[in-house]
Structure 1
């Protein structure tokens, strides 16, 4: 049977190896603790580079306010069409009705106090009343439409210049300026009457209707006592 040789590891070397093994174990444990406990960067969102604007949605443009005349103290201010006519004028219209319901329906075929785009722009740009004497049942070939328009001095001058440019006959009357035009054909009689006075413009178109003295009646009623 084989004979085993005597061990060459001395007690001193065993002690050294034990010490080295202990140190290695301590170092491994310390390294593991350091790895676990070391701080790691937080998962934060990426920040855009400074100085570079971030695109955003384009804001909607602000609405543009329509110009409105400032009504001077003492200027007549009827609140409804019923306040601009005398009872006699109302009766003179016979079967025609003032502002029947159909005239306010969306898309209603109604007229304003002018058919000129420049004059219509002034009417629509400022405070006004729309007064229409028409058939009670719907559009027809007969009627009168008047806008009572409150205008600035600049608008008054622009309206007068436009009326003259359109070739209307203009003259002074009842404290203001009157401009008229009339056309007669084989089947129809139509025209316009405009009156400017003290910040008010009475713009009227008429077709196959209009009692005599219509504009004079409005002037006498609106400026009653003036």
Structure 2
């Protein structure tokens, strides 16, 4: 073999080795890459969704499909107004702070139920010049059926005499203490509660008169 042919053969072998190395390099580079779609770098924490705000549940309110007097004057006939004599309806002093005017009941649990009901009319018959030994307070309260059930249960538990009357439930109690006549009259019908407490006064037919005026159209 001549020297020239030997160099040609070595050159061919060298070329083949170079080509083989290039192919191996391409294959190796392709396999070393990250698979398609795979995250590169440090994993990132997923953000947590913000908590959903819960809608507040409104307190139950009484329906107002029935009668809805807006003032105490609407509750009374001229005859009952005259029967109170010198007592006046809602004198200015009863609205003063610490007036200590009577509520529609003397029972703490019934007072709490009146306050919990929300909407109401407070009608006070009292001396025009201030507190005295005579007075009557009626609180007309709008209630839900659930509240009405609670009220009836408490009226019975408080020892009142309850019976059906004029399309509703009437409850009465009256006592004499230290020479004073103190009583309560309660009436529940539809979504209305008439809570009345009186001291040494109370015209005959007072609650019946309110019922006749409030439910005049029924």
TM-score in terms of structure 1 length? 0.69
Q: Which residue of 1 aligns with 2:210?
A: 218
Q: Distance in 1 between matches of 2:160 and 2:69?
A: 27
Q: Which residue of 2 aligns with 1:84?
A: 75
The answer to whether structure 1 residue 170 and structure 2 residue 150 are counterparts is: no
Aligned length: 162
In structure 1, the gaps of 5 or more residues are 1-63
Offset at residue 154 of structure 1 (A): 0.5
Q: Which residue of 1 aligns with 2:18?
A: none
8 Å Cα contact 1:68-1:127 kept in structure 2: no
> What pairs with 1:73-222 in structure 2 (closer than 5 Å)?
73=65, 75-125=66-116, 126-185=118-177, 187-222=179-214
Quick one: structure 1 residues 142 and 66, their matched pair in 2 at CA, closer, same or farther if it must change by over 3 Å? farther
8 Å Cα contact 2:141-2:194 kept in structure 1: yes
Deviations 1:15-38 (A, max 9, x none): xxxxxxxxxxxxxxxxxxxxxxxx
8 Å Cα contact 2:88-2:126 kept in structure 1: yes
Q: Which residue of 1 aligns with 2:30?
A: none
TM-score in terms of structure 2 length? 0.71
8 Å Cα contact 1:95-1:135 kept in structure 2: yes
In structure 2, the gaps of 5 or more residues are 1-55
Offset at residue 121 of structure 1 (A): 1.2
Offset at residue 184 of structure 1 (A): 2.2
Q: Which runs of 4+ in 1 moved over 6 A?
A: none
8 Å Cα contact 1:182-1:190 kept in structure 2: yes
Q: The residue matched to 1:202 in structure 2 has which SS? A: strand
8 Å Cα contact 2:69-2:75 kept in structure 1: yes
